[in-house]
Structure 1
Amino acid sequence: MDILGKIHSVETCGTLDGPGIRYVIFFQGCPLRCQYCHNPDTWKIEDGKNVSVRELMEDILKYKSFMEFSGGGITASGGEPLMQHRFLEELFKKCKEEGIHTALDNSGCIKLSTIKEVIEYTDLVLLDIKAFNKQRYKELTGASISPTLEFAKYLSDINKTVWIRYVLVPGLTDNLKEIEELAAFLASLQNIERIDILPFHKMGEYKWEGLGYEYKLKDTQPPDEDSIKIVKEIFKEYELNVG
């Protein structure tokens, strides 16, 4: 039986979510409530549209030549793709049968014991670490950081390639001491290929308003270039590759 999943949307020629030209699938559903989320319309899984693995693969294969030429592939993003781990596992399995590179953009918040099979078919993990301080993480996301750190350590143990994503939000995730603690933690792992510092933006603010949610960061401005440079230098001091 063809497994059904809940999808928000797709981007057929993405270039920001992994190497090369990528077919990006935005999964519906997320257990986190990040204050800076620019896709709050993906939070509720019931709001997604049903799609089968077969239907997705038929569309994905239309772009296979672009992926091969550019060294690209598909990226599962969201939302939180691992909320639908059975669907995602079947999709990634079919992609591997076609020789298509698979990337997983996620927050590491899903119980590890339920998702190990998905990771077997994943070539690259884009791991979003929202904050490193436990209290800060809880304030920012409404959840515990513990599953994310457990996931990061597991990926190191199995030597799965990881790109770290860190959103720099003035007044929220720009504490330099906490950033240095994160850098030290990442330097202790064996598999971190690069670090991407993503400047906070407010492009999703209109979605919050449209959905009737309170947007707490309406007065927060994007970080300036000097702040971004300082944060990048901290990671470089720990001999981490900053993209």
Structure 2
Amino acid sequence: MQGLIFDIKRFAVHDGPGIRQTIFFKGCPLDCRWCHNPESKKYSPESFCLKRKFGNHISEETESVGRWMSAGDIIDSVEKDRVFYEESGGGVTFSGGEPLLQTDFLSEVIQLSKKSGFHTSVDTCGYASESDLKKIIPFTDLFLFDVKMTNNNKHKEYTGVSNELIIKNLKLLDEIKMNVLVRYPLIPGVNDLVEDIAGLAALVSSLKNIRTVCILPFHRLSEAKHKKFGYTYRMGGTMEPEKSKIETVSEILKSSGLTVRTGS
């Protein structure tokens, strides 16, 4: 079996504990306006014609995004950095895109990862069937679980899908006491209103075992990538949240008895 991968990042430090290798799966069921990896959305290999200007000369070159890899190929890549995982408490993280869009392949490679002794983390938007989620649960040490927003109408507007399945899966992971870090992208004008944060606090504080939220402040780093690959950047003039806003959000969450991190 093969999976469609669009990138592999070695020595990652923001995708779980320790030093890690992050495997980016191509394809995603969501269409988030602020997506940091627009080239990851489509579940198929793509070729992009890139134009570069040198003085008065414009050159064109083709860049391919997405390659088919076997589980063995990925384990071989991850194995290269084993000593760094062992020294730092790191491992391998499966991200995207959305890795659960390729559940059968993810299940195969994550089982091989555990057999090889690697700590495993899955970075997910949570939009997957319960049966697909259950295929990887026994082999996942940590879920990095994105909650974009709790208001369903806003979620549909900004991501293209309902959040009902996402919240259902979050509650499932909580019930079976999985290790889950809720991650919240804080985006000015989108999900940073008092009612948005109150909704997040109410959701997470209602859970029995999941008690930590990581705030991920919005940034515009993907604007250049949108331009590079010919995508329309849909966040307009949205700027990074001010430090005072991040602190206010953090305090609201802490007042609900939650542990709060910022940035990773």
Q: Give the TM-score normalised by the residue count of structure 1.
A: 0.96
Cα deviation for residue 211 of structure 1 reads: 3.4
By percentage of residues, which structure has more helix? 1
SS in 1 for 2:248: helix
**1:61 corresponding residue in structure 2:** 79
Residue 114 (structure 1) shift? 2.2
Q: How far apart, CA to CA, are the structure 1 residues paired with 2:256 and 2:217?
A: 21
In the TM superposition, residue 119 of structure 1 has moved relative to its aligned partner by 1.5
Asked if structure 1 preserves the Cα contact closer than 8 Å seen for 2:107 and 2:135, the reply is yes
Q: Report how far residue 222 of structure 1 moved.
A: 0.5
Following superposition, the deviation at residue 110 of structure 1 comes to 1.2
The alpha-carbon deviation at position 193 of structure 1 amounts to 4.8
Q: How far apart are residue 168 of structure 1 and its match?
A: 0.8
Once the two structures are superposed, what CA deviation does each residue of 1:80-113 show, in whole Å capped at 9, x if it has no partner?
0000111111111111112211000010011122
Q: Does 1:13 align with 2:31?
A: no
2:111 to 87, 93, 116: 93
- Gaps spanning 5+ residues in structure 1: where? none
TM-superposed CA distance for 1:173, in Å, is: 0.9
Partner of 2:166: 148
| Secondary structure of the structure 2 residue equivalent to 1:75 | strand
CA distance in 2, matches of 1:238, 1:174: 17
Matches within 5 A, 1:6-155: 6-47=4-45, 48-155=66-173
Instruction: State which of 231, 237, 262 in structure 2 corresponds to 1:213.
Output: 231
How high is the sequence identity, in percent, across the aligned residues? Answer: 41
Task: Specify the code of the residue in structure 1 equivalent to 2:190.
Answer: L
CA distance in 2 between counterparts of 1:168 and 1:189 reads 21
Secondary structure of the residue aligned to 1:191 is coil
Aligned residues: 241
Q: Deviations over 1:110-140 (max 9, x none)?
A: 1122221111110100001111101111111
Q: Tell me the distance in 2 between the aligned counterparts of 1:216 and 1:51.
A: 32
Which one has a larger percent strand, Structure 1 or Structure 2?
Answer: 2
TM-score normalised by structure 2 residue count: 0.89
Give 1 or 2 for the bigger CA radius of gyration: 2
The separation in 1 between residues aligned to 2:134 and 2:221, in whole angstroms, is 34
Distance in 2 separating the partners of 1:192 and 1:49: 35
CA RMSD of aligned residues (A): 1.1
2:234 maps to 1:234: no
8 Å Cα contact 2:205/2:211 also seen in 1: no
Structure 2: gaps spanning 5 or more residues: 46-65
SS at match of 1:113: helix
Instruction: Look up the SS of the partner of 1:45 in the other structure.
Output: coil
